[in-house]
Structure 1
């Protein structure tokens, strides 16, 4: 991994609380978000949409579980995937940029894109161990990715990834 980060402890903070805070911050800033998900398979979109007021800021998203969708719909470089696999920091960045692009409207660019890619298990993928996760954040000032090694069951890894993706975007605002 480019860099491993440990998520900040958030005692008592649920995905719903994080999404509610994020939606309020986006609304107050007059900004919008689009999402591209792989391992979380819609958990980030669902969590954002569960927050009151989400319709003002959430443009939509795509679950690109299948690699060709990452390439065709989101514009992730095929050569990058052939060389590194889909669990990679640069793939997360390109997915976030793709989320931003595909959710932009003719007269209104989406402000932020979030992406998730990784291995929730039970088996490793692309020679990456279970729990390897990358989150991409694309915004007006560029694109970054964050790498993690989460522990736990498949469901715990997915939940931790969704919460951390929302938290990372909240911190970027």
Structure 2
């Protein structure tokens, strides 16, 4: 029996490739560049970006900093912050994003425009007292650095990682769109 009160749940068929393609297009149009620093996603953001034809025009590279010491040494994440809060924290994501910009700048006259950082717990166990699925995402750009989270992505390890990649690129796309008008 049909009801005139039917409520539809809005869904999207947008894929990760669609989001990554938008990011690459927006960066190309603005003549801007991107570097990435990943922890729990272990290169997933970089893989999504480089699946887009022409990504090399704007994507400079990145760092997979699974180890805490690499976050400190390569990305300049503050050791005192990590000692106080652990690596699953908004400020760590923001500092990783800024570190990604710095690590991928090879010409001081043309610094990397944007950086993205991901940190969180994919599982199977909690880390630093933070539950599986807790994630933070940072974006650093010309006007400053911002972090989002905590996100709580449900599901097994791979699902948490996939959701983080989608969310990180979606957040970057939102920032890029807000700048382009």
Provide the TM-score with structure 2 as the length reference. 0.89
Instruction: Give 1:142's aligned residue.
Output: 144
Instruction: Give 1:3's aligned residue.
Output: none
SS at match of 1:86: coil
SS at match of 2:41: coil
Instruction: Give 1:47's aligned residue.
Output: 48
Instruction: Give 1:122's aligned residue.
Output: 124
Instruction: Give 2:63's aligned residue.
Output: 62
1:109 counterpart (99, 106, 111): 111
Instruction: Give 2:19's aligned residue.
Output: 18
Bigger relative contact order, structure 1 or 2 (CA pairs below 8 A, ≥6 apart) = 1
Instruction: Give 2:6's aligned residue.
Output: none
RMSD value, Cα: 1.0
- CA distance change for structure 1 residues 64 and 20 in 2, over 3 Å: closer, same or farther? same
- Aligned equivalents of 1:145, 1:152: Cα separation in 2: 23
**Number of residues of Structure 1 aligned to a counterpart in Structure 2:** 165
Unaligned runs of 5+ in 1: 1-8
Where does structure 1 differ by over 3 angstroms across 4 or more consecutive aligned residues? none
Instruction: Give 1:132's aligned residue.
Output: 134
Find the structure with the greater CA-based Rg.
2
Instruction: Give 1:164's aligned residue.
Output: 167
- Aligned equivalents of 1:36, 1:169: Cα separation in 2: 13
1:105 Cα deviation from its structure 2 partner = 2.2
Unaligned runs of 5+ in 2: 1-9, 177-181
Residues 43-98 of structure 1, C-alpha deviation per residue, up to 9 Å, x if partnerless?
Answer: 00010011111000100000000000000000000010011000000000100000
SS at match of 2:154: coil
Q: Does residue 1:81 correspond to 2:52, yes or no?
A: no
